[in-house]
Structure 1
Amino acid sequence: MTIAKRLALLEGAEAAVFVASGMGATALAHLAVLRPGDHLISSEWVYGTTHKLFQGEFGRLGIDVSFVDPLEARQWKRALKKTTRAIFVETPTNPLLRVLDLEPIAALCKTEGLALVVDSTFATPVNFRPLEHGADVVIHSATKYLNGHSDVIAGAVVGSEAVIEEVKKLMRIWGQAIDPMAAWLVERGMKTLVVRVERHNQTALAVAQWCSQQPQFAAVHFPGLPGHKDHEVAKRILNGFGGMLGVELKGGTRASERFLRALTIAAHAPSLGGVETLVSEPRLTSHAMLSPEERAQAGIPDGFLRFSIGLEDADDLIADFAQALAQL
């Protein structure tokens, strides 16, 4: 069975295709459903490079993009134009782990005849299958959980046969075919996807619960915690809360730098979804283009750290974080 067929079955889709990168998947998925002169409505809670793609490159291709607060239903409706052809969202979001209820957005798309495109990288089909909630196209950065070993750059698009055929045509034109070695490595990773994600879910929950009890953290962002803004939505629509969490260290940038230097098990690195625990600073990665004031307004103040919890023992990770906090 091909990796594309395997992913399609996991997502409950007609077809899928793997491409050279996650951003390649994002670009090709949208170009498959949009044409010059069309309008796209995007959630404003998206990956920084996706925002650059929409705001910059799509404009050069004659595609207009509007950004809205995804929780404000009226904003979706107000943003509609005669040329609107699609809506795009990410869920859970990066790095605040907000969980969006797709069904109201999907209902609007169905009424207006729009395609709903969803980046489900953080969830994986183990925890969430957007097509079951009304989505038409699903995007993954296969670099992350689908591969799971931090040694591949790849992406995937899932949807109907017609959409995937269009993506394949564009893939050939734009040179976005996945290379054979990367495909082989993704196949290896997908063989353990379910057991890995289950472990990520379990360990991240234990770490998040511990973090929520530490006075050095001003806030902990994890949908599995009762205090998370979308906890009830997450309980209803997710099969697991995932392996990602965000924390806000008191003391800002200086505190985060000292904490990161003190880590002995977790590594300071920007990727996610692998077997090892990684800690990154959005101020230097996904949100580096924003000023400190803009990041704070977006809920990502200096001192914000994103944890991608790996497959290590939960007690070992907690001990590592505890000794790092003790050095602040």
Structure 2
Amino acid sequence: MAKHKREAQLATTSVHGGHADRVPGASVVPPIIQSSTFHWATPDDGELLYSRFGNNPNQLQVGAKVAAIEGTEAGVALGSGMAAVAMTLLALTKAGDHIVAASGLYGATHALLGQELPRRGIETTFVDPDIGEWEKALLPETRLLYIEIPVNPTLRILDPRPIIELAKEKGVHVVCDATFSSPVNFRAADLGIDVVVQSATKYLGGHSDIIAGVVTGPSEVIDEVTKMSRLYGPSLDPNAAWLLDRGIRTLDVRLKRHNENAMAVAQFFESRSEVERVLYPGLESHPDHELAQEIMNGFGGVVSIVLKGGGEAADNFMEHLKLGMCAPSLGGVETLVSQPRYTSHASLTPDQRRVQGIPDGFVRLSIGIEAAEDLIADFEQALSG
């Protein structure tokens, strides 16, 4: 009787996934293949290898690794998270098509959907999380439904299950940006989401030293995304692909520390009179806490707060930080603090930000893996500064 092959756990796949079969004398760590092109004697040699095509060995290895972690058929690594989003949307739509998207999205994604794609004849309807709104927004031309879990930076958790069922009923794709959760905290494909996009700059890379993006999903979708990438050119540099592969090896242990630290920090801020509101899915006060417990394995490393005193209070808080660094981005081992009005949502008007729950005084904290006690001490003195 044939033995059933046991599926490896995520922590194991993060270390070994995507690597070539072991042969005597092979390096334990995959080498960096820093070459733009490769010898190709005849068409019988197989596919033409060219790093802009995304088939450099380092690019292929990390794409396969993320797909294995996510539990999807295939994956492709690209030059940034926005490249992953843009190439996916262009691969799945054409002029005359329609997209339905959640209203609360990363600022650049919102701008891509609302400003750039209409120039190409692709329209988007933005809707609130209520499933009835999604149903009403559907048109005969609708080709995909786009969501983020959690939403940046409000950390609202949208229930994807009714949206997935609606998509199946209508025969359209569901695309989910799972950057904030990572595959450690949210198993998108297991729930039935077709395509997952992530900024690998964040938790997957984990060290704030690369810009990268990944798309995972069915082979036929990844093939189309790869075609778009070869046309538009946002391939991932081999050295960055190698660094991404190295970062992913510690993904599981890093995320567990991020989760623990963020919970401790969120509880601290909830006890402070200077803070008007704390947004963290792990807190019982979060409007989506029960849903987060139901569909997520962890609550993530990002905590958002709204300070009393508005933008002036937020500026003062950030000016007094000594350990937390004032910088955009998230998901690195160090703690990064930013105000979305200056960074991720700077392209939106103050009124648009308020509608999305991002008033002046809103501060987003990407909690690193430092000692939680040291972080809390820093935040305490910054609040008092």
2:29 aligns with: none
- Contact kept, 8 Å, 2:198 with 2:213, in 1: the verdict is yes
Q: What amino acid maps onto 1:86 in structure 2?
A: L
Q: What amino acid maps onto 2:91 in structure 1?
A: A
Aligned-pair Cα RMSD in Å: 1.0
Q: Distance in 2 between matches of 1:30 and 1:300?
A: 26
Q: Deviations over 1:122-142 (max 9, x none)?
A: 000000021111210000001
The Cα shift of 1:9 comes to: 1.2
2:9 aligns with: none
Q: Distance in 2 between matches of 1:35 and 1:291?
A: 29
Residue pairs, 1:56-95, within 5 angstroms: 56-69=115-128, 71-95=129-153
- Residues 33, 290 of structure 1: alpha-carbon distance in 2 compared, 3 angstrom cutoff: closer
The Cα shift of 1:61 comes to: 1.7
- Contact kept, 8 Å, 2:104 with 2:356, in 1: the verdict is no
Please state whether the residue corresponding to 1:247 is helix, strand or coil: strand
Report the TM-score when normalising by structure 2.
Answer: 0.83
Q: Deviations over 1:114-171 (max 9, x none)?
A: 1000000000000002111121000000111100111111100000111111111111
Q: What amino acid maps onto 2:178 in structure 1?
A: S
The Cα shift of 1:58 comes to: 1.1
Q: What amino acid maps onto 1:224 in structure 2?
A: G
**Alignment of 1:48 onto 2:122:** no
Please state whether the residue corresponding to 2:282 is helix, strand or coil: coil
The Cα shift of 1:40 comes to: 0.7
The percentage of counterpart residues that share the same residue type is 51
Please state whether the residue corresponding to 1:117 is helix, strand or coil: strand
Q: Distance in 2 between matches of 1:62 and 1:304?
A: 35
More off after superposition, 231-240 vs 24-33: 24-33
1:31 aligns with: 90
**Alignment of 1:272 onto 2:307:** no
1:161 aligns with: 219
Q: What amino acid maps onto 1:244 in structure 2?
A: V
Q: Which residue of the other structure, out of 301, 305, 308, is the alignment partner of 1:247?
A: 305
**Alignment of 1:131 onto 2:189:** yes
Q: Which residue of the other structure, out of 261, 266, 282, is the alignment partner of 2:319?
A: 261
**Alignment of 1:19 onto 2:87:** no
Q: Distance in 2 between matches of 1:139 and 1:58?
A: 18
Q: Deviations over 1:253-293 (max 9, x none)?
A: 11111111111100010110001000000111122233334
Q: Distance in 2 between matches of 1:294 and 1:210?
A: 29
Q: Deviations over 1:86-114 (max 9, x none)?
A: 10001100111011111100000000001
Q: What amino acid maps onto 1:4 in structure 2?
A: G
Q: Which residue of the other structure, out of 247, 258, 261, is the alignment partner of 1:200?
A: 258
Q: Which residue of the other structure, out of 165, 170, 174, is the alignment partner of 1:112?
A: 170
Q: Deviations over 1:210-234 (max 9, x none)?
A: 1111111000000000010000000
1:326 aligns with: 384
Q: Deviations over 1:168-203 (max 9, x none)?
A: 111111001101111011011001111111100010
1:9 aligns with: 68
Q: Distance in 2 between matches of 1:53 and 1:22?
A: 13
Q: Distance in 1 between matches of 2:348 and 2:224?
A: 35
Report the TM-score when normalising by structure 1.
Answer: 0.97
Q: Distance in 2 between matches of 1:293 and 1:178?
A: 36
The Cα shift of 1:28 comes to: 0.8
The Cα shift of 1:14 comes to: 0.4
Residue pairs, 1:163-178, within 5 angstroms: 163-178=221-236
Q: Distance in 2 between matches of 1:288 and 1:233?
A: 29
Q: Distance in 1 between matches of 2:315 and 2:262?
A: 22
- Structure 2 stretches of 5 or more lacking a match? 1-18, 20-60
**Alignment of 1:225 onto 2:273:** no
Please state whether the residue corresponding to 1:85 is helix, strand or coil: strand
Q: What amino acid maps onto 2:205 in structure 1?
A: N
Q: What amino acid maps onto 1:81 in structure 2?
A: L
